[in-house]
Amino acid sequence: MPIEILMPALSPTMSEGTLARWLKAEGEAVKPGDVLAEIETDKATMEFEAADEGILGRILVPGGTAGVKVNQPIGLLLEEGEDRTVLDRASRPSNTSVMPGLDPGIHVAAATPALAMDPRVKPGGDESRRQTGARTFASPLARRIAAEAGLDLARLTGSGPQGRIVKADVEQAIQSGTGRSVAAPAPAVTKAPPPALAPFEPAYEEIPNSSIRKVIARRLTEAKATVPHFYLSVDCQVDALLKIRADLNARLEGGKLSVNDFVVRAVALALKTVPAANASWGEEAIRRYRDIDISVAVATDNGLITPIVHHADRKGLAEISAAMKTLAAKARDGKLKPEEFQGGGFTVSNLGMYGIKSFSAILNPPQGCILAVGAAEQRPVVKDGALAVATVMTCTLSVDHRVVDGAVGAEFLAAFKGLIEDPLSMLL
């Protein structure tokens, strides 16, 4: 019997996902480690690798299908020596039902297709099939190629099981010039005018929400509505940091250090000093983390994601910088592995590069704290009783009051400020 390819669970919280696209076509050879498809989870778009060797015999769920449940069969893999006829004997749900999101031409029943049950219709495609209105059975790939070539599938004869039209049938029809849509011209279609806009309503376009965007919306709504936030802000003078950064970058070959690399390093060392801030909420107990893993917010086309710099307190500035460049690139390409974005005990969100002076970030549950970092800009300050100019960066800590009390948050910010304003202490 063919091997069922099941919708994978690519994260602990994943119950369903979107099968973005297949990277293998029906009839193609597959070996362990080959990328079969791209799966869009609630966090990112990830590659799904094959675990077995064989031939991709049938695609049950076409690319672009949303709401595919974990462990739902999405394809069938033929083992070496298996004939394609076993595909129709594979164990499937009873009756001739079609799975949600499935191509209408793909049955998920062991029963003989309705096409062969109608005595007036031959197993292949012919005029009688069009006259009776019987369903045409074809693989998703065959349907796509036929649509692109302007072929009428009802005019083709299928060579697959039970007369199913496959890729080879369509390609043969294209070469021979048969099966093109002809005969009576299609009836004219009168397009309904777009709905009239209400008075003073501006024109707009609707952009469908991706799975990732829906999850972001749900999690942020829950966080803001159910977590008791409070906020603490501190101004950090970063002239010394900027000077050391320039000196180090002049000596480094290749990648350069960013201000955010110093921020991540300072947060990690501050959490080492104030471990009570490295914690998350649980209904039965507060979880205080032994490891210092810093989530860093990265903007992508699909929304915000927070890859993690693991053991940030054990990494130097150069290691943090290299890790962040790799993680940010993978995040934007949708190539992060689950362990690279799930977890973390504390989040950093930096909008300083966009010129934002200060802001308050929404917590990333179940974490107890998130630090919002603004732009470093020259401001008037008072030094030794005299007015002076310094480069100042405002940082705001958003805190879950169930996890971290105000005094602990203030203690953390004091430790962070001391490190940022005395960057040499971060190099020791």
Residues in the chain: 428
Residues 385 and 279 in one domain: yes
Within 8 A by CB and 6+ apart from 144, the residues are: none
Residues 98 and 116 in one domain: no
Give me the active site residues, please: 401
Buried b (16+ CB within 10 A) or exposed e, 402-424: ebbeeebbebbbebbbebbbebe
Among 111-120, 205-214, 265-274, 296-305, the range scoring the smallest mean pLDDT is: 111-120
Return the pLDDT at 208.
83
We report the CATH number of the domain holding residue 387 as 3.30.559.10
Residues 237 and 95 in one domain: no
We report the CATH number of the domain holding residue 141 as 4.10.320.10
Q: Please report whether residue 208 resides in a domain.
A: no
pLDDT in tens, 47-66: 888 878 888 989 999 988 88
Return the pLDDT at 99.
36
Residues 330 and 372 in one domain: yes
The stretch 149-164 carries a mean pLDDT of: 75
pLDDT in tens, 95-143: 333 333 333 333 332 222 333 333 323 334 444 343 334 456 666 567 7
Return the pLDDT at 108.
33
We report the CATH number of the domain holding residue 97 as 2.40.50.100
The stretch 215-236 carries a mean pLDDT of: 92
Return the pLDDT at 199.
66
Q: Please report whether residue 224 resides in a domain.
A: no
Cα torsion at 12, 18, 21, 26 (round to 10°)?
A: 90
Query: What span, in angstroms and rounded, lies between the C-alpha atoms of 18 and 324?
Result: 28
Confidence band of 355 (pLDDT split at 50, 70, 90): very high
Q: Please report whether residue 199 resides in a domain.
A: no
Residues 319 and 173 in one domain: no
Among 133-147, 161-175, 244-258, 314-328, the range scoring the smallest mean pLDDT is: 133-147
Residue 373 has pLDDT above 80, yes or no: yes
Q: Please report whether residue 3 resides in a domain.
A: yes
| Secondary structure of the chain as H, E, C letters | CCEEEECCCCCCCCCEEEEEEECCCCCCEECCCCEEEEEECCCCEEEEECCCCEEEEEECCCCCEEEEECCCEEEEEECCCCCHHHHHHCCCCCCCCCCCCCCCCCCCCCCCCHHHHCCCCCCCCCHHHHHHCCCCCECHHHHHHHHHHCECHHHCCCCCHHHCECHHHHHHHHHHCCCECCCCCCCCCCCCCCCCCCCCCCCCCCCCCCHHHHHHHHHHHHHHHHCCEEEEEEEEECHHHHHHHHHHHHHCCCCCCCHHHHHHHHHHHHHHHCHHHCEECCCCCCEECCCCCEEECEEECCEEECCEECCHHHCCHHHHHHHHHHHHHHHHCCCCCHHHHCCCCEEEEECHHHCCCCCCCCCCCCECEEEEEEEEEEEEEEECCEEEEEEEEEEEEEEECCCCCHHHHHHHHHHHHHHHHCCHHHHC
Residue where a domain stops, chosen among 82, 108, 134: 108
Residues 152 and 286 in one domain: no
Residues 235 and 352 in one domain: yes
Residues 309 and 295 in one domain: yes
Within 8 A by CB and 6+ apart from 272, the residues are: 292, 313
Query: What span, in angstroms and rounded, lies between the C-alpha atoms of 8 and 20?
Result: 13
Among 11-20, 184-193, 344-353, 407-416, the range scoring the smallest mean pLDDT is: 184-193
Return the pLDDT at 192.
55
Among 183-187, 193-197, 343-347, 354-358, the range scoring the smallest mean pLDDT is: 183-187
Q: Please report whether residue 254 resides in a domain.
A: yes
Neighbours of 389 (CB within 10 A): 11
Residue where a domain stops, chosen among 108, 139, 156: 108
Residues 19 and 134 in one domain: no
Return the pLDDT at 288.
96
Q: Please report whether residue 217 resides in a domain.
A: no
Return the pLDDT at 139.
63
Residues 360 and 420 in one domain: yes
Within 8 A by CB and 6+ apart from 3, the residues are: 52, 54, 76, 77, 78, 79
Structure tokens given for 294: 């810093």
Among 136-150, 185-199, 379-393, the range scoring the smallest mean pLDDT is: 185-199
Query: How far is CA 379 from each of CA 106, 236, 238, 290, rounded to the nearest angstrom?
Result: 67, 11, 11, 38
Residues β-bridged to residue 232: 397
pLDDT more than 90, % of the chain: 43
Query: What span, in angstroms and rounded, lies between the C-alpha atoms of 34 and 286?
Result: 42
pLDDT more than 70, % of the chain: 80
Using alpha carbons only, what angle is made at residue 110 by residues 109 and 111, rounded to the nearest 5 degrees?
90
Q: Please report whether residue 366 resides in a domain.
A: yes
The stretch 362-370 carries a mean pLDDT of: 94
Confidence band of 80 (pLDDT split at 50, 70, 90): confident
Structure tokens given for 213: 């965007």
Query: What span, in angstroms and rounded, lies between the C-alpha atoms of 97 and 357?
Result: 58
Q: Please report whether residue 297 resides in a domain.
A: yes
Residue where a domain stops, chosen among 73, 90, 108: 108
Question: Which domain, by its residues, includes 161?
Answer: 112-185
Domain count, the chain: 3
Residues 93 and 168 in one domain: no
pLDDT in tens, 163-194: 768 777 887 888 777 766 544 344 444 555 55
Residues 244 and 119 in one domain: no
